[in-house]
């Protein structure tokens, strides 16, 4: 594949390294200094774009790729209030789009286990629920997109016990607390905690480095070749809900 990298920070550089190791070419690199190069002319000849930028730029970057008939894999977070509009645009223009808030294979297995566990724990109201996430200090959005995905999946499964997530300690029983921490160079730790007066049950994923995220993004790009429509990690991993 000929890949356009949109966003060339630490994650973009890791994706570049993994892509080259897997035999792919980097067609174009777009970063903050050359955003003007995101045009149909510059994108011509590429097979796919992998987009990891910030919430203020992600939507427009993806639309620019669609306008150039270029499939997109995106991992940008903090802009998901516009996701349904983007998916509609993708379908209307017969494009291909792959989105995940986290491309780690382990995290996406955690997503699956989180939903299964929430269905079980719905029957046991003596357990209160909270989430905790820790990332490196360069991560600007809080809570993380991964924590939001975990929280919203819990809310869907355990309704009406919890009504909304909050990025602070819960002040009411119906609030699902997400506690966010930013410390040094930690790639990412996410924990779901069920706590009663008797015991604590936790699911935790701890990333060792960025390579797992980069590999997942490149695998998603390989998966998207020849496809149309919108996809996510469950499609890539073949995970089905029970």
Count of beta carbons in the 10 Å neighbourhood of residue 115: 17
DSSP 141: S
What is the edge-to-edge ordering of all strands in the sheet holding 175-182? 164-166, 175-182, 128-135, 189-195, 200-206
- In whole angstroms, give the CA distance from residue 14 to residue 140: 19
Active-site residue identified among 13, 42, 122, 139: 139
- Per annotation, catalytic residue among 27, 135, 162, 205: 135
Q: What are phi and psi of 213, to 5 degrees?
A: -65, -45
Kind of pairing, strands 189-195 and 48-51?
Answer: unpaired
Our answer to whether residue 139 is catalytic in this structure is yes
Known catalytic membership, residue 42? no
Environment class of 241 (CB within 10 Å of its CB; exposed 0-12, middle 13-18, buried 19+): exposed
User: Which residues belong to the active site?
Assistant: 135, 139
């Amino acid at each position: 594949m000929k890949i356009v990298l949109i966003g060339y920070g630490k994650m973009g550089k890791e994706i570049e390294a993994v892509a080259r190791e897997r035999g792919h070419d980097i067609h174009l690199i777009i970063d903050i200094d050359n955003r003007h190069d995101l045009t149909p002319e510059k994108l011509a000849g590429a097979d796919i774009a992998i987009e990891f930028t910030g919430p203020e730029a992600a939507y427009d970057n993806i639309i620019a790729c669609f306008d150039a008939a270029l499939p997109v894999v995106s991992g940008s977070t903090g802009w998901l209030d516009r996701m349904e509009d983007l998916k509609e645009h993708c379908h209307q223009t017969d494009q291909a789009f792959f989105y995940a808030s986290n491309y780690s294979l382990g995290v996406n297995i955690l997503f699956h286990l989180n939903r299964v566990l929430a269905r079980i724990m719905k029957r046991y109201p003596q357990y209160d629920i909270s989430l905790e996430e820790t990332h490196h200090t360069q991560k600007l959005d809080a809570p993380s997109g991964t924590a939001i995905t975990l929280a919203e999946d819990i809310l869907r499964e355990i309704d009406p016990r919890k009504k909304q997530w909050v990025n602070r300690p819960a002040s009411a029983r119906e609030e699902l607390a997400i506690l966010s921490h930013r410390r040094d160079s930690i790639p990412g730790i996410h924990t779901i905690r069920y706590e009663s007066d008797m015991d604590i049950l936790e699911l935790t994923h701890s990333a060792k480095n960025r390579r797992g995220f980069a590999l997942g993004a490149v695998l998603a790009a390989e998966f998207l070749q020849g496809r149309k429509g919108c996809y996510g990690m469950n499609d890539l991993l073949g995970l089905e809900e029970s």
